[in-house]
Amino acid sequence: MLQDIDTTRRMLQARQTSATAEMERCIAAAQAPACAPAWTRTLFDAARATAADPKVQHLPLAGLAVSVKDLFDLQGQPTPAGSVVLADAPAAQADCAAVARLRAAGAALIGRTHMVEFAFSGVGTNPHCATPAAWDARSGALPGPARVPGGSSSGAGVSVATGAAFIGLGSDTGGSIRIPAALNGIVGFKNTARLVPTTGAVPLSSTLDTACAVTRSVRDAVTAHEILAARRVTRSPAPLSAWRLAVPQSVFLDGLDPTVAHAFARTLDTLRQAGAPIVEMALPEVGELGDMQANGSLSAAESHAWHRQLLAARGDRYDPRVRSRIERGATMLAADYIDLLRARRDWIARMETAMAGFDALLSPTVPMVAPPIALVAPADGRDPDHDAERDAAFFSANALLLRNTSVVNMLDGCALSLPCHVAGELPVGLMVWHAALHDDAVLNVGLQAEKILQKQ
């Protein structure tokens, strides 16, 4: 199992390792075949210089490696957001807010990571570059076909899971941090969106976008969140038995892949045996989201508003799958958009009332294991029938991967995904979640659950 920031910091303080030695390990991992496709640009020399700088050694990240999703501004570099459309964009004049906070905490930025074009998919493929395969950090790569890493923060997930980075800065609009966390066997925390500024990031949905991170442990998720949100998490020593937990039955458990169903059931049994008071709840309000978005989604409408001029000028250079999703926003009436915002506010209020008796809710992060890359790979034009089959498989997988996680984004909530599989199984994530500003409770439950699940 990979050492996390907490363990590495203690080793640094005891002089059992050095930031430069840790950086060389990360760079070696970043250059290895399993991780090489995870980068759109590497920054090894700059990362080495930061790791060697004595001024960062006392800071929270102490010169340790951090990767940055390709949609965040880094001073002096263009921000392509996984596209060729913005490849010739002017260089950013300053770091985005999230990157600036990480640098101030002593992060050594090791590179920019692969992502779905403009962050508009949960699968992790991008026709403009090779797709990094999912990786299980607990047991190493498993035999079988190469599988999708999850998106849209695909490279972020792989960079952390393979040991190339301690933190992968990413974004989560419908699950784009938690999905790659689940499929790569690592931890991903989506904070309440308002807690971390998204200024200096190419937007997908101005309403739903969240700047957050994937990490090697829940302890590191707390550290990353405290840096990104510029706040302290209130820690609780309370055991899992002191928290009120529920498993919603509506939607989240529908049609689970057998591997996910088995891992989730085993996880609940393990947590209950450790004293967790877990109850079932109906939560039928989740089933209303389909009808609520019948006339369009916030992501489609808000992304189209941002992209419409680019689409008119360079639409032929977009990933066709991404373009088709953005263009759905063109047909949404302003009245329907306003009605959706109003309906969402009412729905959030009813959801919060229904969940008020619980400290956190538990669900599978995604209802399926990662599908093979070959099944959903971008069309190449050589066989139209095969391309159509892959497109159909892609959109089906994308809808399933986003199904559970996107509920939390519509709720304006917070959620943690942590591994709940065992060695020899494909990665499966447990999602611990609640409504807005319940971040500390979710993280504290996650800390306790992680301790228990690591013994499986």
Those residues whose C-beta lies under 8 Å from the C-beta of residue 384, and which sit 6 or more positions away, are: none
396 part of the active site: no
Of the listed ranges 41-50, 282-291, 381-390, 413-422, the least confidently predicted one is 381-390
Alpha helices in 132-245 (DSSP H): 154-161, 178-184, 218-229
SS (H, E, C) 303-318: HHHHHHHHHHHHHHHC
**Mean pLDDT throughout 184-203?**
98
> What span, in angstroms and rounded, lies between the C-alpha atoms of 98 and 115?
17
> What span, in angstroms and rounded, lies between the C-alpha atoms of 281 and 271?
17
Distances (CA, A) of 402 to 128, 301, 337: 22, 18, 21
**What confidence score (pLDDT) does residue 380 get?**
85
Q: Please say if the pLDDT value at position 143 is more than 90.
A: no
**Mean pLDDT throughout 72-94?**
97
Peptide bond into 363 cis (omega under 30): no
> Does the CA dihedral 170-172-176-177 come out positive or negative?
positive
* CB-CB contact of 101 with 228 (8 Å): yes
Cβ atoms within 10 Å of 204's Cβ, excluding its own: 28
190 part of the active site: no
Domain parsing of the chain, residue ranges = 1-289+350-456
What percent of the chain has a predicted confidence (pLDDT) above 90? 95
pLDDT tens-digit readout, 120-138: 999 999 999 999 999 875 5
Those residues whose C-beta lies under 8 Å from the C-beta of residue 415, and which sit 6 or more positions away, are: 178, 189, 190, 405, 408, 431, 432, 433, 434, 442
Of the listed ranges 141-150, 318-327, 329-338, 342-351, the least confidently predicted one is 141-150
**What confidence score (pLDDT) does residue 417 get?**
99
Query: Would you say the pTM of this structure is higher than 0.85?
Result: yes
**What confidence score (pLDDT) does residue 387 get?**
93
The tokens for 375 are 């099944």
**Mean pLDDT in the chain?**
97
152 part of the active site: yes
Q: In what order do the strands lie in the sheet with 429-434?
A: 39-42, 108-113, 65-69, 167-171, 211-215, 187-190, 414-419, 429-434, 360-364, 245-248, 278-281
> What span, in angstroms and rounded, lies between the C-alpha atoms of 266 and 76?
49
**What confidence score (pLDDT) does residue 456 get?**
84
Q: Would you list the DSSP string of 312-352?
A: HHHGGGS-HHHHHHHHGGGG--HHHHHHHHHHHHHHHHHHH
**What confidence score (pLDDT) does residue 232 get?**
98
Residue 288 or residue 250, greater confidence:
288
> What span, in angstroms and rounded, lies between the C-alpha atoms of 361 and 248?
7
> What span, in angstroms and rounded, lies between the C-alpha atoms of 209 and 444?
24
**Mean pLDDT throughout 168-183?**
98
* CB-CB contact of 404 with 363 (8 Å): yes
Q: Please say if the pLDDT value at position 238 is more than 70.
A: yes
**What confidence score (pLDDT) does residue 140 get?**
57
Those residues whose C-beta lies under 8 Å from the C-beta of residue 95, and which sit 6 or more positions away, are: 73, 74, 75, 103, 200
- Single out the catalytic residue among 69, 153, 299, 363: 69
Q: Please say if the pLDDT value at position 231 is more than 60.
A: yes
**What confidence score (pLDDT) does residue 445 get?**
98
- Single out the catalytic residue among 176, 217, 297, 303: 176
| CA neighbor of 401 nearest in space, from 154, 63, 218, 117 | 154
- Single out the catalytic residue among 152, 153, 154, 171: 152
**Mean pLDDT throughout 421-441?**
96
> What span, in angstroms and rounded, lies between the C-alpha atoms of 17 and 371?
38
**What confidence score (pLDDT) does residue 81 get?**
98
Q: Would you list the DSSP string of 74-127?
A: -BTS---TT-STTTTPPPBSS--HHHHHHHHTT-EEEEEE---GGG--SS---T
Top-level CATH class of 1-289+350-456? alpha beta
